[in-house]
Amino acid sequence: MLRVLRWTAGVAAALLVAGCGGGGSGGGSGGGPDEAKGTSPAGRPGEASATAVPSAADPPSSLTSQRLQWRRCGAAEDSAAPGDEWRCATLKAPLDWSKPGGATIGLALIRARATGDHRIGSLVFNFGGPGGSGVSTMPYYGALASELRERYDLVSFDPRGVGASEGVRCRGDRDTEAAEAVDATPDDPAEEKAYFQDAADFGKGCERAAGRLLAHLSTTDTARDMDLLRHVLGDRTMHYFGISYGTELGGVYAHLFPRRVGRMILDAVVDPTADTVGHAKNQARGFQRALEDYLRSTGQDPERGTRRIAALLKSIDARPLPTASGRKLTQTLALTGIILPLYSEAGWPRLTEALKSAGQGDGSRLLALADQYNERKSSGRYGTRSHAQRAISCLDDKQRPTLARTKRLLPEFERISPVFGDYLGWDTAGWCHDWPVAGQYDTPRVSAPGAAPILLVGNTGDPATPYEGARRMADELGEGVGVELTWKGEGHGAYGNGSDCVDSTVNAYLLDGTVPRDGKVCS
C-alpha cells in the first residue's frame, strides 16, 4: 500500500542525506466545545477555564499530579543516542478517554530545557505522519530550533501507537517485503483481488497486535493526551509547533481546548475541509506541481517530462527492473522512489540520477530511495511508522470508498496527475479496506472561537500538503484566529527550509508574541 507521508521537509532532507527511514499520511475530533470548570494544571487559582468534549471527563488527580521522571535517553532506533542535553520520560495517559480513571498507557517524551534566563514555558512539537516519532526526531530538529530553545523547553513525544508509546507493528519483515510485490494500481481482476486481500490482511494483523488499543489511537485521543501533558508540565497554556499532520492535530487541539491555546505554529498545513478523496486529490495536485517544478529546474518541459516518467513507470509495471541487490524494482517501488526526493529541493539531484539510471535499465537508485521512504534497512528490517500511520488514519477517517466509486474517480485522478493520480486514486479504496475498527469522522472539526491567534505557514511548492490548505484552515479556525503566512518556496514545510523571512517571522511570533499581518508573503 502507498499513502503519501506528511512529514517535515527538514526530516525528509535528513533522510536523503543520511539514508535514514521515512514513512506513511493520514488525516480528528469529536463533539463541539464545552467549557469545563476546574483547577489550573499546577493548582494555581485564576487560570482560564478549558474547553473539552462533553463525553470526555477530566482526568483524575492520579494522572494530573504525576511527576515525570526525566532520565538520560537511550539509543533511538535508526539514530545515535540523543546528546547530553536531552532527557526522556514516560507520561501515563488513559487508554480510553471516555473512562479516564481506567487502564492507562505509557507515552514516551523527550525534552531539552531552555538555555536562557527568560523562559516562556514548554514548546511541544509534532512532526507529522501520523506515525512520526517525536522522540527520535526532536534532537535532530532541535538544531534547527536553537534560537527557540533559548526561551522554551523543547518537548516532543511519540503519540499513542507510535514508537515507544505502545507502538503498533501489524506485520513482520518478511510479510512486508512480500507485500511490495502487490501492484498498488491493479490492472486486472487478479491484481485487484491481491490488492484488497493484502489490505484486509494488514488490518487483521493490526487488530491482533494492538488489541483494544486499536480503537483508541485517534487524533482526538492524542489531542487530549497533549492537554494532559501540558497540565503535567505545569504550563498554563499550550505552546505548540505542529508540522504537516501535526497541523491537523493542532487544529483539533484548538477546537477541543481553545482557551488553552498559547502561541501555536502550524507549518505545512493540512486542509481540514478535505475528506478521504479530497486529501488524495490534494496530494496528487501537490506532487504533480512539485514534479513540474523539478522538471523546470532541470531545463525540461514539464508536460513532456511528465509523459516520459509516466511511460517509464508503465514499462516498469510490465517488466520490473533489476537492481544491484538482486531485488526487483516494481512500479510501486519506483513511484515511491520518485516521491521521496520531492519532499525537499535538496533531494532533486538524487532524483535526476535515479531517473537516469532507471531509464538505462538499472533500478538500483530508485530502489534505494524507496527503501529509505519505507524504512527498510540493508538487513531487511523495516520500521513501523507506516503501520502506526495507517492505524491512526483509518480510525480517524470515516469514509470507505468502494471499488466501484474508485474506478469512477480514476480518470479524474489521472487528469490531475499522470504520474501520481492512479496510485492515490486506488489508495482511497485500499488503504482502510475491511478495517476492523469504524472511522470517526468525515473531516476534522477545528473551529476554535476564542483561541489566541494561530500562525499558519503555507509553502507554494509543498507537495504533500498543498499551500491552499493554510487558507482553508484559517477559515475553519474562525475569524481572528488563523493568521496566514505564505512562502514562495519548494519542499514540504517552510520553517528551517532556507527562508530567513519565514524563520524570523515565526521566531518573532514565538519569542515575542508578534503576530504578523494576515496574508504576509515571503519570497
Q: End-to-end alpha-carbon separation of the chain, Å? A: 36
Tally of domains within the chain: 1
Q: What is the pLDDT of residue 215?
A: 98
Other C-beta atoms closer than 10 Å to the C-beta of 442 total 12
Q: What is the pLDDT of residue 4?
A: 55
Which residue is catalytic, options 216, 387, 433, 492? 492
Q: What is the pLDDT of residue 107?
A: 98
- In a domain, residue 83? The reply is no
Helix ranges (H only) for 244-384 are: 245-256, 276-297, 302-318, 331-339, 348-359, 364-373
User: Mean pLDDT highest for which of 18-32, 52-66, 127-141, 289-303?
Assistant: 289-303
Helix ranges (H only) for 30-159 are: 61-64, 134-144, 146-149
Tell me the mean pLDDT in the region 296-305: 98
Helix (H), strand (E) at residue 453: none
492 is catalytic: yes
- In a domain, residue 455? The reply is no
Higher pLDDT, 74 or 417: 417
- In a domain, residue 487? The reply is no
Sign of the C-alpha dihedral computed for residues 287, 292, 295 and 301 taken in this order: positive
Which residue is catalytic, options 227, 275, 462, 503? 462
Structural contact between residues 252 and 223, judged by C-beta atoms closer than 8 angstroms: yes
Query: Domain range holding 339?
Result: 173-202+281-430
| Mean of pLDDT over the chain | 89
Secondary structure letter of residue 320 according to DSSP: P
Measured in residues, the chain has a length of 523
Structural contact between residues 167 and 158, judged by C-beta atoms closer than 8 angstroms: yes
By C-alpha distance, which of 322, 244, 319, 334 is closest to 286?
244
- In a domain, residue 295? The reply is yes
81 pLDDT tier (thresholds 50, 70, 90): low
Backbone angles phi, psi at 267, to 5 degrees: -115, 135
**pTM of the full predicted structure?**
0.90
CB-based contacts of 506: which residues, under 8 Å, 6+ apart? 265, 267, 455, 457, 485, 495
Burial class (CB in 10 A: 0-12, 13-18, 19+), 294: buried
Task: Give the C-alpha separation, 129 to 256, whole Å.
Answer: 21
Quote the cell numbers at residue 218: 485517534
What are the tens digits of pLDDT across the range 231-290? 999 999 999 999 999 999 999 999 999 999 999 999 999 999 999 999 999 999 999 999
Query: Residue holding cell 517535515?
Result: 8
Quote the cell numbers at residue 18: 543520511
Helix (H), strand (E) at residue 427: helix 421-430
244 is catalytic: yes
- In a domain, residue 445? The reply is no
Structural contact between residues 351 and 312, judged by C-beta atoms closer than 8 angstroms: no
475 is catalytic: no
Quote the cell numbers at residue 404: 466501484
Structural contact between residues 23 and 383, judged by C-beta atoms closer than 8 angstroms: yes
Radius of gyration of the chain (CA): 22
- In a domain, residue 395? The reply is yes
Which residue is catalytic, options 133, 218, 244, 386? 244
- In a domain, residue 271? The reply is no
What are the tens digits of pLDDT across the range 453-502? 999 999 999 999 999 999 999 999 999 999 999 999 999 999 999 999 99
- In a domain, residue 214? The reply is no
